[in-house]
Structures are given as C-alpha cells and as structure tokens.
Amino acid sequence: MVADTVLDSIRELLDGEGVTYRLLHHEPTRTSEESARVRGESVRIGGKALLMKVGDVFQLFVLSAALKLDSTAIRTHFGIRKMRFATAEELEVLTGLVPGSVPPFGEPILPYPLFVDGSIMANERIAFNAGSLTDSIIMPVEDYRRIAQPEVFRFAQPA
C-alpha cells in the first residue's frame, strides 16, 4: 500500500458517505505541533494514530495530539501485560506508511481494529495526516465516528 492509495481510499470513503471535509496539501510535517501550525488548527484537534502491538496483535489507537498514551489504561482494558509501539520498519511493512503519516482509520483503510480515546470525541473536528506527511484532512468528528466506527475508551493522559 502506498501513500497515494491511502489518501485516495480515504477520499473515496468520505466522498461516498457525503462527508464535507477539508483536504490540505502542505510542507512535510514530522510533529503534531508542526501539523497543527500548517493546518491552522489547535494541536488538540489533531488525531494522533499509533499502531501498537497489544499482546500478540497489532491494533490502531487514536488520541488527541495534545495528549500522550497511557499504556497502563490499555493494558488494563485488554487484560494484557505486554504492549509496544510498532517499529518504523514494522509500520512500513504492515501499512506502507512512515511514522506520522498513519490516518486514524481501521477497516477498510487499514486492516487493524480501531480504538479511539474520548479526547477525540470531545472536539468538533478531527485533523490528521492522510497517508503522507504532506496531506491532511480536517473533518467533523461526528462524521469520523460514524464512518470509522471505533471502540471508544480512555487511554490518554496529559503530555
């Protein structure tokens, strides 16, 4: 899967669902703060998508870019002891993407179970890199929840 394919897939999904969204092509951004700046949005609107190995299974977690992951909350939720971030190499092999470009979507965009922190649902919009470091989408969070159909629970804490 290449970045253009991910962006095209997201656009097809959103267009097919009649979602109004803003697509921004911008300079490469490597941090949540850089992304927020080029989008003209608060960093808390950013959806930080992290591919994690939870037990023996990779899963996708999305939280506000203003927060950090609470691994204890995830371990407790799943009743497991071992979890870790996917390495850059694993991310590339499993998704064709580089760190920072992962969109906040499981099926049908990425083949992973999707979990979203409640911090995302507290906002009116979600902004995210859409399969590359140079393309962002900003869309209503209610449309995101309807289309992405994540399991929502709390797994973020103050940065």
* pLDDT given at position 30: 85
All structural domains of the chain with their residue ranges: 3-139+149-158
Structure confidence at residue 124 (pLDDT): 97
Strands 156-158 and 67-69: antiparallel
Q: What is the pLDDT of residue 1?
A: 41
Instruction: Compute mean pLDDT per 10 residues along the chain, 159 residues long, and list them.
Output: 74 96 95 94 96 97 97 96 96 95 96 97 96 96 97 95
The reported pLDDT for the residue numbered 4 is 57
Provide the greatest CA pair distance for the chain: 41
Q: Is the pTM of this model over 0.85?
A: yes
What's the CA gap between 89 and 133, in Å, rounded?
17
pLDDT reported for residue 112: 97
Q: Which CATH class is domain 3-139+149-158?
A: alpha beta
